[in-house]
Amino acid sequence: MTPFAELFIKYRLRSEIKTLKSFADMMAGEGYVYEASLFTRWQKGNRIPKDRKVLVAIIKIFLLRKGITSLSEINSLLESAGQGYVTKNEKSRLIRYI
């Protein structure tokens, strides 16, 4: 299994989100206000988001920006955070962005 930090960096860069400040602004747009330093810890592998709603918001951002393009990529990010796989309800909400 690929570590969360590695996938977070990969999907952020594929999403063409150049700075963690930009990512923080996008997360704030989803209703999650965090300091950019938290995202640095995610990238370094020092922390992993545990709240599934936060993970779904991250996935939505990456989907909208085409950093994530498949259900298997969604599942790999969730699995790397110890959150299993996408549920039917989540899938129905996120699939429209693929």
Q: What would the two tokens of residue 89 be?
A: 């309800």
Is the pLDDT at 31 greater than 90? The verdict is yes
User: Which percentage of the chain shows pLDDT scores above 70?
Assistant: 100
Structure tokens at 34: 């965090």
pLDDT digits (tens, 9 = 90+) for 12-28: 999 999 999 999 999 99
Q: What is the dihedral of CA 39, 67, 73, 41, to 10 degrees?
A: -10
Contact 80, 7 (CB under 8 A): yes
